[in-house]
Structure 1
Amino acid sequence: MARKHGSHGGSWKVAYADFVTAMMALFLVLWLSSQDQKIKEAIARSFRNPFMSVTKESTGIIPNKEYHSVKAESGKFDAASAVELNMLRRLNEDLLKALNTQEPEEEQTVRIELTPDGLRISVFDRARKPVFQPHSDQFTSYGAWVFSTLAWQIARYRGFNVELEGHTEKVATPPPHAPDPWELTSGRANTARRELVKHGVQPDQIKKVAGYADTVPMPGMAPEDEVNRRVSVMLRVSNK
């Protein structure tokens, strides 16, 4: 009677597959150990946050030459990769849709700008459409709606650090019992922080809360203009 030899004929394939896997892991370890610190940090970041660009000059683990053409085309973002720039643009579009800002520029409550540092959102406390109660760091119902809407949109994109700055206009003769402008602007920035966190922004995303009183007017505007009464929300791409 002929013997059957097929019952254990595939076992060598399993052993060979294990051997190949082990060799691949060995080669990866040897390759990683030979790389410079920048590549090692980039790979570590890619495992911590696989959906973000892992270096400031790449769209993958290895620095990408195409980044420079993207940077030149955008003309702005020296610090953002193509993926990060795309995230900022998408957030910009989502915010514009959510806030439905149709007012003329001189009457806008919210102005959104792509800058070399990230996305700047300026929320103006105008007399016609106040965001804060007069001489107070408490929101109006409209102001609470604006910042809750901002929070819902920002919370969808976890890869940003958030910086909040309060500003106000210069007043020659403050009304009686008017709050100190430093305390007022820092209080308004902190009120904005609480509203963002309340509606979904992670507390550890907030990296700065500051008040600048009347020391930083809007570019090209008189220090006394009400447009200087604002809270600025700066979104910077996180490097975590």
Structure 2
Amino acid sequence: MASRDAPVVIKKVKKVVGGGHHGGAWKVAYADFVTAMMAFFLLMWLINTTSPEQKRGVADYFAPASVSSSSSGSGGILGGTAVGDEGAQSAGAMAFIEQLAPEAPNMQDRDGQSTTSGDLSKSSEDELREELLKREEESFRSAAESLRQALQDMPELAELSKNILIDQTPEGLRVQLIDQEGRSMFDAGSARPNERARTLLRAIAKIINQLPNRISITGHTSASAAGGAEKDWALSAQRADASRSILQGAGVDQDRIAQVSGKAAKEPLYPDDPTLAGNRRIAIILLREAPVLPDSPSL
């Protein structure tokens, strides 16, 4: 009877599903990943929207405080003061603020001559001018090659290739239409270009239109008998002007025409024989342009 009066004990067992307290660990890792990605894209956006000046400011802010305002190196442009030299290090935050707009340091080259900011600016301008001249030379070479290729590809121009002379002079890229024996560009004593000359001039105009350079057109004649030299001046100038008219008719802007002149027989192509037909020619020069340099920033 005593066993029946004993209290009944019910034991509840709680089953934990999902790995216990470890079940949410992936959520933490995922949250970290999303936060990192958000920070990354925010950084990309900030980099894309900041100006170069702002980027330099941020870079200077994180730069070591001991950065010198002078670059070390040998003489000339690379001359400067090493970081370890006395007086080369900046002093605290005030020196950093002043570094944003430093005065041009006086640097000594190997000969003991002072190299100022003006010398550095001039050196930069010289390098830029040289680069612009190289580009102009390349454009001239490309134009000359294009004209030679056009003469080869077009059947109506192939037979006229001997009437074209292309070279570079101190003035620029020169294209000359030259008379050949039995194949002239103008009829005798006439200032009107024949069909052969007009075909060549229109082909030259296509190449000229690819470049922005101004143009000089000069007429030349061969030496005439006594008494004809005076007429050669007018004839050479008239032939040059007639060539100008055909070029403009083929699309060359009249504002690009810098000079139209005649030189009679004063500058023969064959000085040993000024009466040769090859001395009669039209010289078209794509003039070299003085490179336009940007204004030097104040230092």
Same fold (TM over 0.5): yes
- Contiguous gaps of at least 5 residues in structure 2: 1-37, 58-99, 105-116, 293-299
The aligned amino acid for 1:166 is: G
1:132 CA displacement = 1.5
| Counterpart among 224, 242, 245 of residue 171 in structure 1 | 224
Are the aligned partners of 2:222 and 2:276 in contact in 1 as well (CA < 8 Å)?
yes
Using the TM superposition, give the Cα deviation of residue 84 of structure 1 relative to its aligned residue in structure 2, in angstroms.
Answer: 1.4
TM-score (norm 1): 0.64
Q: What secondary structure, in the 3-state scheme, does the structure 2 residue paired with 1:114 have?
A: strand
**Cα separation, partners in 2 of 1:19 and 1:146, compared to 1, 3 Å:** closer
* Letter aligned with residue 155 of structure 1: N
Q: Which amino acid aligns with 2:139?
A: M
Cα RMSD, aligned residues only: 3.8
1:135/1:179 contact within 8 Å kept = no
Whether 1:21 and 2:89 are equivalent positions in the alignment is no
Identity of aligned residues (%): 24
Post-superposition CA distance 1:189-219 (Å, at most 9, x none): 1111111121122222211111001111114
DSSP-derived class of the 1:180 partner:
helix
2:174 partner SS: strand
Counterpart of 2:210 in structure 1 is: 156
Equivalent in the alignment of 2:149:
97
What runs of 5+ residues in structure 1 fail to find an aligned partner?
1-8, 44-53, 60-79
AA at the equivalent of 1:84: E
Deviation readout 1:73-121 (Å, 9 max, x if unpaired)? xxxxxxx32x2111111111111111237669xx921111133432111
Please give the TM-score of this superposition, normalised by the length of structure 2.
0.52
Q: Does 1:57 align with 2:130?
A: yes
Return the alpha-carbon distance in structure 1 between the equivalents of residues 48 and 200 of structure 2.
57
User: Partner of 2:206: helix, strand, or coil?
Assistant: helix
Partners of 1:238 and 1:182 in 2: how far apart?
28
Q: Which has the higher contact order (CA 8 A, sep 6+)?
A: 1
Larger radius of gyration: 2
Structure 1 position 228, deviation (Å): 0.9
| Counterparts of 1:127 and 1:174, CA distance in 2 | 23
